[in-house]
Amino acid sequence: MAELRSKVPQGPVAEKWTRYKAQQNLVNPANKRKLDVIVVGTGLAGASAAASLGELGFNVSIFCYQDSPRRAHSIAAQGGINAAKNYPNDGDSIYRLYYDTIKGGDYRAREANVYRLAEVSNAIIDQCVAQGVPFAREYSGLLENRSFGGAQVSRTFYARGQTGQQLLLGAYGALSRQIKEGQVKMFNRHEMMELVLVDGKARGIIARDMITGKLERHSAHAVVLATGGYGNVFYLSTNAMGSNGSAIWQAFRKGAFFGNPSFTQIHPTCIPVHGDYQSKLTLMSESLRNDGRIWVPKRKEDAEKIRNRTMKANQIPEENRDYFLERRYPAFGNLVPRDVASRAAKERCDAGFGVGDTGLAVYLDFADSLKRLGKAVIEERYGNLFQMYEKIVDENPYENPMMIYPAVHYTMGGLWVDYELMSTVEGLFVTGEANFSDHGANRLGASALMQGLADGYFILPYTLQNFLAGQIKVPRISTDKEEFAGAEKAVADRIDKLMSVKGKRSVDHFHKALGKIMWEYVGMGRTADGLKKAIGMIRELRKEFWKDVRIPGKATELNPELEKANRVADFLELGELMALDALNRNESCGGHFREEYQTEEGECLRNDQEYMYVATWEYRGEGQYEMHKEPLVYEELEVKQRIYK
Amino acid sequence: MKLTLKIWRQKDAFSKGKFVTYPIEHISPNCSFLEMLDILNEQLIANDEDPVAFDHDCREGICGMCSLYINGRPHGPDDAITTCQLHMRKFRDGATIVIEPWRAKPFPVIRDLIVDRTAFDKIIQEGGYISVRTGGTPDANSILISKVHADLSMDAAACIGCGACVAACKNASAMLFVSAKVSQFALLPQGRIEARERVKKMVARMDELGFGNCTNTYACEAECPKLVSRSNIARMNREFIAAKVL
């Protein structure tokens, strides 16, 4: 059995990374040419890693399921990227960014990783500016910052409402340069189906060419998974339609442990659900909470009138509005962390004060800011978001307040990794959202982009090199080895099994049914009873899926239904593990809210005595998982209750 | 809503394609265009027919993967949006909707409505970046950029690489796409260093891949979901001439 060794270097937290780099092993240029690396995923974490490793001289192969690496879902991140530059002179520092991130994650992240993240954050901004990322500027020509949830300083750099797009295109540019130079080989429209282990080490993958359906073997000295999060287990989420958890799930089945699978972020500001044909939820950037005020009617009768459309938001006078975040959290107001804002919105809606046709919405109102700053300023800051809202909802947010409701957005959980970002499978590294490491039980806004690029540009090129230094005597791995043949056959068998079910119901039918169970019982409010019920229901649904799913067409051609079926089959297992993990954790922390464990004021009630650990799950056969604990030790920070009042 | 869909069906790159008509009913006007196609596909699967293949991913107008030519317009009958943001309320009840893939020689059809746009990646690989390595870069605020130029650069950088400009152009020209990338960097001091080489290489690759020339009809600008301006084409022409002459 693999053991949990976090490999955190000795010494004070601020010196650990420096010490690591001073003591790590390096690979000389001649040997780099002989070493191969596979990267799966071309988002911020994958593209930046592949480009940086290619520049160093390693031979890299990179895979994505989209038609181009530029489409990875990092592109949809809107608001910004954090860094501890302290350009606004408002009291920021590496220490404060680290502190805010640990506190924001409700003291469930690994301290040393978070400090390192804050430490390299500034270099990311330098790197991106050098690449030509057009960040927002002041008239002086200097970079502009704005504030985000969970922080009292302005440390967020942004490119209008398209920061993720611009950062990704920067990384895509760097990747494209390496492709041109022949250092990186690009495999687009390829999906990883299986991880290949040779002598217990990750030495390759089986990928499916999504145009021809052909299974391919690819080998390397190390494999990096940068495949993003698994929020689509909820069916409706802000993730892209193709975002999936299959790569990490296959690795899990091969021995990589899964850390905190139940830690899911529900984002407070999304466009509410409007019909059962709906395929996805659209996020409205957290940055909107800088200038928008969140409220619901103070009187139930007003909320009712709004729901049956006999009254409009603008007809409710100021004194009859409840700005519930400002009321409950005066110190942070509308900029409390996401989990807190989401729960507060749900609480108001559950209590009967929700608006919109369904009563599952709250207002995000810009009237005050429009008055204070004028339409031109608001348009410059959020123009594209307002336009997006109007296209979807068919209402003008400059005239009527936006309606928003929480939606699944990000998964803090993921494959367990040590300080070097290596999983419990030797040679398998996991970066970005796909790993569990830096955000604890709740991620702060504008920190996902920071983590993806930190891992890819500034951490993996060191830690992966340290591993590869031990591989220089290993010749290129042949794909004729029996391990590859066996893995390929396992994939082919599974595809055959799926295709031969020939049932009556579509893949989407099962995916939607799973999503409903997850949202109802493993969503914003969880209880022991509900979670037990969910586990039973998911097991039933999984059986049903393998008996009754219908996949048209053939496996040897472009077949989007087969692609979806493969992913949903994995979600049907992953969903159960998430529920198990949530059931195990008898406390509330960050985005994990067990209704049995709350303060009198409805805030999270942590149990540090019993649950200050990373719940790390090992695969022991389908539906059989064993939990191991990585205790969380805070050497530097004093652990406190998280208060935003 | 009740609609008649005429959809281009083509088995693969080597087969001949044709339009197939599908009636569809009970569509909510609040449904997005792609959700309407999801509903159609559910019905096709239930009837043991092959669902319609189309590209899509983020469904929020930013990844650039969706690519339908709807009633003669890339991304359909609305301005400044992608197909995934188009909603059925933009059509009238009883309408006939014709859905085709992008039509351009450098974008061959892979299946049904899916085309191969790797030609765009190849153009970017030729120089659509600043050749900076990871690490060793100066402090971000040591490079001053006027707000005007930073904003213009961002306007150009907003391109999502969907290919609507090529699909809209009678010459299948990629000038708007290429000029957006050329402009993004030409407007920034850190991009000036390689500006001349960049524009020459990218234009040469664009021509080599079979994209047509620009004849100034600006259909590209009219259909661009991100409102990338044709002034970028003028800037690229200026950069190109300067690069050739100087």
Q: Give the pLDDT mean for B202-227.
A: 97
| Tokens, residue A519 | 């949202």
> What pLDDT is stored for residue A287 in this prediction?
87
Distance CA B159, CA A165 (A): 10
Question: Is A196 contained in some domain?
Answer: no
Q: Give the pLDDT mean for B118-144.
A: 98
**Contact call for B32 and A279, based on CB within 8 A:** yes
Phi, psi of A88 (to 5 degrees): -75, 0
Q: Indicate if the pLDDT at residue A275 is higher than 90.
A: no
Which among A392, A270, A398 is positioned nearest to B89, based on CA atoms? A392
Question: Is A454 contained in some domain?
Answer: no
Question: What would the pLDDT profile of A213-251 be if each residue is shown by its tens digit?
Answer: 999 999 999 999 999 999 999 999 999 999 999 999 999
Q: Indicate if the pLDDT at residue A572 is higher than 90.
A: yes
Pairing of strands B73-74, B69-70: antiparallel
Residues 6+ apart with CB under 8 A from A475: none
With H, G, I as helix, E, B as strand and everything else as coil, classify residue A334: helix
Question: What would the pLDDT profile of A17-46 be if each residue is shown by its tens digit?
Answer: 999 999 999 999 999 999 999 999 999 999
For residue A164, the Cα-to-chain-centroid distance in whole angstroms is: 13
Question: What would the pLDDT profile of A435-453 be if each residue is shown by its tens digit?
Answer: 998 999 999 999 999 999 9
CATH number for the domain that contains residue A398 = 3.90.700.10
Q: Classify burial at B26, counting beta carbons within 10 Å of its beta carbon; exposed 0-12, middle 13-18, buried 19 or more.
A: exposed
Is A384 found in the same domain as A281?
Answer: yes
* Distance to chain B for A263, nearest Cα, Å: 23
Q: Indicate if the pLDDT at residue B70 is higher than 70.
A: yes
Q: Bridge partners of B196?
A: none
Residue A643 pLDDT class (50, 70, 90 cuts) = confident
With H, G, I as helix, E, B as strand and everything else as coil, classify residue A634: coil
ipTM of the complex: 0.98
* Distance to chain A for B105, nearest Cα, Å: 17
Phi, psi of A418 (to 5 degrees): -85, -170
For the beta carbon of residue B171, count every other beta carbon within 10 angstroms.
Answer: 15
> What pLDDT is stored for residue A1 in this prediction?
52
Residue B238 pLDDT class (50, 70, 90 cuts) = very high
Residues 6+ apart with CB under 8 A from B12: A557, A558, B110, B111
Question: What would the pLDDT profile of B76-88 be if each residue is shown by its tens digit?
Answer: 999 999 999 999 9
Nearest to B59 among A123, A241, A458 (CB): A241
Question: Is A469 contained in some domain?
Answer: no
| Tokens, residue A603 | 């805030």
Q: Tell me the whole-structure pTM to 2 decimals.
A: 0.97
> What pLDDT is stored for residue A181 in this prediction?
98
CATH number for the domain that contains residue A563 = 1.20.58.100
Question: Is A502 contained in some domain?
Answer: yes
Is A514 found in the same domain as A390?
Answer: no
Choose the catalytic residue: A146, A328, A338, A585. A338
Is A392 found in the same domain as A302?
Answer: yes
> What pLDDT is stored for residue B196 in this prediction?
97
Instruction: Give domain limits for chain B.
Output: 3-111, 118-245
Is A488 found in the same domain as A373?
Answer: no
Is A486 found in the same domain as A397?
Answer: no
The continuous run of DSSP H or E covering A94 comes out as helix A94-104
CA B1-B6-B11 angle, 5° bins: 130
Domain count, chain A: 2
Going A169 to B132 to B192 to B179, the CA torsion angle's sign is: negative
Give the architecture-level CATH label for domain B3-111: Roll (3.10)
Domain boundary (A360, A387, A408) is at A408
Which residues of chain B have a CB within 8 Å of the CB of A499?
A: none
Say how many Å lie between the first and final Cα of chain B, rounded.
60
* Residues of the domain holding A354: 267-408
> What pLDDT is stored for residue B39 in this prediction?
97
Nearest to B35 among A140, A240, A277 (CB): A277
Nearest to A132 among B53, B130, B133 (CB): B130
Residue A382 pLDDT class (50, 70, 90 cuts) = confident
Is A510 found in the same domain as A386?
Answer: no
Question: Which CATH number, 3.90.180.10, 3.40.50.300, 1.10.1060.10, 3.40.50.740, labels domain B118-245?
Answer: 1.10.1060.10
Q: Bridge partners of A195?
A: A205
Is A493 found in the same domain as A388?
Answer: no
- How large a percentage of chain A has pLDDT more than 90? 93
Question: Is A228 contained in some domain?
Answer: no
* Helix, strand, coil tally for chain B in percent (to 5): 40, 15, 50
Pairing of strands A321-322, A264-270: unpaired
Is A404 found in the same domain as A511?
Answer: no
Which residues of chain A have a CB within 8 Å of the CB of B45?
A: 506, 550, 552, 561
Is A502 found in the same domain as A399?
Answer: no
Lowest average pLDDT, out of A476-480, A601-605, B210-214, goes to A601-605
Question: What would the pLDDT profile of A310-331 be if each residue is shown by its tens digit?
Answer: 999 999 999 999 999 999 999 9
Q: How crowded is the C-beta side of A458, counted as CA atoms within 13 Å?
A: 24
Question: What would the pLDDT profile of A107-135 be if each residue is shown by its tens digit?
Answer: 999 999 999 999 999 999 999 999 999 99
Question: Is A462 contained in some domain?
Answer: no
**Contact call for A558 and B53, based on CB within 8 A:** yes
Q: Output the average pLDDT for chain A.
A: 96
User: Quick check: is A338 catalytic?
Assistant: yes
Question: Is A574 contained in some domain?
Answer: yes
> What pLDDT is stored for residue A2 in this prediction?
59
Which residues of chain A have a CB within 8 Å of the CB of B38?
A: 277, 279, 508
